[in-house]
Amino acid sequence: MKVVVVGGGASGLMAAYAAAAKGHEVVLAEKNEKLGKKIYITGKGRCNLTNDCPPDEFLQNVVRGEKFLRSAVYSFPPSALMELLETHGLPLKTERGNRVFPVSDHASDVTKTLEKMCREAGVTIKLNTEVLKIDLLHSTMRGIITQNEEIFCDACIVATGGLSYPSTGSTGDGLRFAKEAGHTVVPCVPSLVGIETAEDLRSAQGISVKNCVLSCRRGEKTLFSALGELLFTHYGLSGPLVLSLSALVNRLPAEELSLSLDFKPALDAKQLDARLLRDFSARKNELMRNVVRGLLPQTLGLLVLRAAGISPEKQANAVTAEERRALCGALKVFPLTPARLRGFEEAVVTSGGVFLGEIDPKTMRSKLVKGLSFCGEALDLDAFTGGFNLHIAFATGFAAGNGILAA
């Protein structure tokens, strides 16, 4: 069978390799001047390519599409990906939280290995080749149209990614192809992204708090509450905790959500009050702006003082019991108002994409169009950070390549 894979990112490279390894004649069309532009920036340039955990644990980290992914992840679990890459000459290492990286710490080595695998399996790679249209005849694949030519094929795997970091080439072309082919596309929203707050947090910009509890409520219901690291930015909040939260609330109206931070999760209100009393009596002649330094990084301490209604110029021994209780309250429940999520330019992944109900989960083949398949972030799949998203791209790409029907 002649197969065209559209997109030379993680999912497309794996799909092309898998299809060629099965004996198909494969052309990989990538619109950029090089393969895997997004892979280069993953894991801060080190590429956290998978998470070395069993499939069940893996699926617990999937936000959208867990059921759909069962088959692909069980057929091609992290251990299988790792073995495949290592046997093709890419040594791997596993770090904290089962995150897997190349030993070299160079994301480019992942792309090089995938490219080598493709070339050895006989894939023809066409760079600077933008696919403009998928050519169908009576709901059957005819070919693909690029800026230069039409390439006729029996099957086409669309691996064009989502909408996030469009500078890497992921501009949602596959979503347009899907719609043109009659598929439903679930509206896309940014995921794993920072959250803008109504409050001006610029004075705390750059401060990272390691052990903080971030909670998010919608009315009476707590949607999220987790301990971890938080980063203050010029627009509001980012960091691991916030990215995870964004994945869960990105379809909810921001105005219905409220956030709160517990800066002292190890102490209950009584223990914290006792700690404040001790601090105040030990530093009774000092200004509160200095006393709070012992509790939080300077500018953050000032924000908390302001929330508690205490002047930073007040001496510790002049703080009333009521003010101390307010400070305790602001340290345990520091309220913030989410305004909106940051955009696709900054989102690690896209949530939304080709509707999973119209795709066969074993083969990634379209249920509507003969010869058409989708894989990777173009599908309505996303997960938390930790190597899960790249693995989704690899596992669905592997399934799509293997799922091409024999002639």
Ligand X SMILES: Cc1cc2nc3c(=O)[nH]c(=O)nc-3n(C[C@H](O)[C@H](O)[C@H](O)COP(=O)(O)OP(=O)(O)OC[C@H]3O[C@@H](n4cnc5c(N)ncnc54)[C@H](O)[C@@H]3O)c2cc1C
Q: By the criterion CB under 6 A, which residues form the site for ligand X?
A: 6-12, 29-32, 37-38, 41-43, 47-48, 130-131, 159-161, 164-165, 169-170, 173, 348-349, 376-377, 387-390, 393
**Number of other residues whose CB lies within 10 A of the CB of residue 351:** 28
331 residue type, one letter? L
Question: Residue 117: CA atoms inside 13 Å, Cβ hemisphere, count?
Answer: 27
Q: Which is nearer to ligand X, 388 or 398 (CB)?
A: 388
Q: Which is nearer to ligand X, 85 or 307 (CB)?
A: 85
Shortest distance in whole angstroms from residue 84 CB to ligand X: 16
Shortest distance in whole angstroms from residue 3 CB to ligand X: 15
3-state secondary structure the chain: CEEEEECCCHHHHHHHHHHHHCCCEEEEECCCCCCCHHHHHHHHHCCCCEECCCHHHHHHCEEECHHHHHHHHHHCCHHHHHHHHHHCCCCEEEEHHHEEEECCCCHHHHHHHHHHHHHHHCCEEECCCCEEEEEEECCEEEEEEECCCEEECCEEEECCCCCCCHHHCCCCHHHHHHHHCCCCEEEEEEECCCEEECCCCHHHCCCEEEEEEEEEEECCEEEEEEEEEEEECCCEEECHHHHHHHHHHCCCCHHHEEEEEECCCCCCHHHHHHHHHHHHHHCCCCEHHHHHHHCCCHHHHHHHHHHHCCCCCCEHHHCCHHHHHHHHHHHHCEEECEEEECCCCCCCEEEEEECHHHECCCCCEECCCECEEECHHHECCEECCCCHHHHHHHHHHHHHHHCCCCC
Q: Which is nearer to ligand X, 301 or 352 (CB)?
A: 352
Shortest distance in whole angstroms from residue 171 CB to ligand X: 6
Exposed / middle / buried, residue 287 (Cβ in 10 Å: 0-12, 13-18, 19+): middle
Q: Which is nearer to ligand X, 334 or 374 (CB)?
A: 374
Q: Which is nearer to ligand X, 151 or 288 (CB)?
A: 151
Task: Report how far residue 128's alpha carbon sits from residue 241's, in angstroms, rounded to the nearest whole number.
Answer: 38
Shortest distance in whole angstroms from residue 131 CB to ligand X: 4
Shortest distance in whole angstroms from residue 25 CB to ligand X: 19
Q: Which is nearer to ligand X, 246 or 389 (CB)?
A: 389
Shortest distance in whole angstroms from residue 388 CB to ligand X: 6
Q: Which is nearer to ligand X, 302 or 392 (CB)?
A: 392
Q: Which is nearer to ligand X, 50 or 332 (CB)?
A: 50
Shortest distance in whole angstroms from residue 79 CB to ligand X: 16
Shortest distance in whole angstroms from residue 211 CB to ligand X: 23
Q: Which is nearer to ligand X, 41 or 287 (CB)?
A: 41
Shortest distance in whole angstroms from residue 239 CB to ligand X: 14
